[in-house]
Structure 1
């Protein structure tokens, strides 16, 4: 009988919070294999200049540093650093591994700020918002890896964890692994205002040159505006809003089965007023975040759960796909 319900028309597609799965189906659970495979798609992209700093009213471009000959400084060794560039004298004096940096080695750092609230575990088309957000985050990590940037990630909401910056493919793979682990960790009902997450991001990632916020916007609060303004003084900030199609468009008339915490109800939606009110409630989060990002002049984009996130991510972090 449950199978028959799933085969109903799109107007009757269940809106559910799925139970924990271990197979990583890419629908209600993150598929680690899919996240890793996204590396090949990024490989065909054409790289554009990085935007590494942002002032309150706009982005400022900065040179992407690569290999060079002029010594600049040394810093503590980080995973992915070239061992051939170890600063042995400083290492011997300090007792800690240090790497030499040359004038063109001061790579940028991309911080992915990922919303893991329970509201992200929702979807009526193709996959959950949380799975779509993981796909977008993995693409961003692979773009950063290809650009020679380090990549870090901070989860907020259901999972409050920090992934330290790493360079190269090691960094992107670490992000992919963390995305799969965090998603499988559960669906805690904890609520964390976006402003708190932004404050922590500014504190733990002072070296980040760019920040990509991925969220459905339901954690967006009034204080988030000032926090974003403060963050843009030190890093380029872009926002990717993940939303379900019913949060973006009017639903077709019908009876919608809703399931939450094991309780299932059917909600009849027939009149235009009912459908409009339904979208207003469901779409409140994405709408708030779009309005906030737009009012601050931040680069932002919205994608639904059935969309291909590649173009949106490429545009937000300053990449362009190769012409066909």
Structure 2
């Protein structure tokens, strides 16, 4: 029994030793294989990196050998592998400058463009000496034409100034063609005295003068205007019972038609001027009851001179 036990223990020890040796050998072999694989991977990675570097260096050497940058403008204008990438981006200010500079270069302007045709038509590209000669010839032609025209212009008569004032809403009253009726003045001392005119066509009076009478129809009223030689004062009195508008003109003479009738005017029937020394009394006969809405003297303007204005409306 003892021997059997010793043999069994020896057998177990041998088996354990063999198993340990196999395990150690297997572990060593596995580690060796892993180290070899790692070394191979490192070698392959190194070879790949070296090959890529060689290719890149070769491409750069080929590209740089065909281009020499003599200036910064040549370097900016150079084209390379990055052109397709740069075309997708917005151009920088320097690129815009270079592009514009290339467009206006004289070698690119040999043919006329649409924006230079009009300039060439005006002789902009002409030499300065030829331009001076051409302008001198044109000035001589203009001078000769002017010398031909000036005598004809000088021979023309001077235009006569038109002194007739402009006519607006009112109109001037023409003097009557027929002579006014002459009334005989009463005289007790001299029965055979010559007859006197009650109202003359052109009566005299003070230093100022009424030179024209105008009337005009405005909406709802009739405007009665007396044109004067200078500024003057006046007064008026309206009598609707007699249908008479009396206008006193102190120191004012009369230098136009002494009387006039208005058949078509709805308000004014006629007027009559009576001169007494240097004063004038104007009687305006009305067709119906009326009122004076405005009585005023006006200073001269760009159309008319001094004037007295009466606006007569229906009462």
Q: In which range does the TM-score fall when normalised by the shorter chain?
A: under 0.3
Higher gyration radius (CA):
2
TM-score normalised per structure 1: 0.18
TM-score (norm 2): 0.18
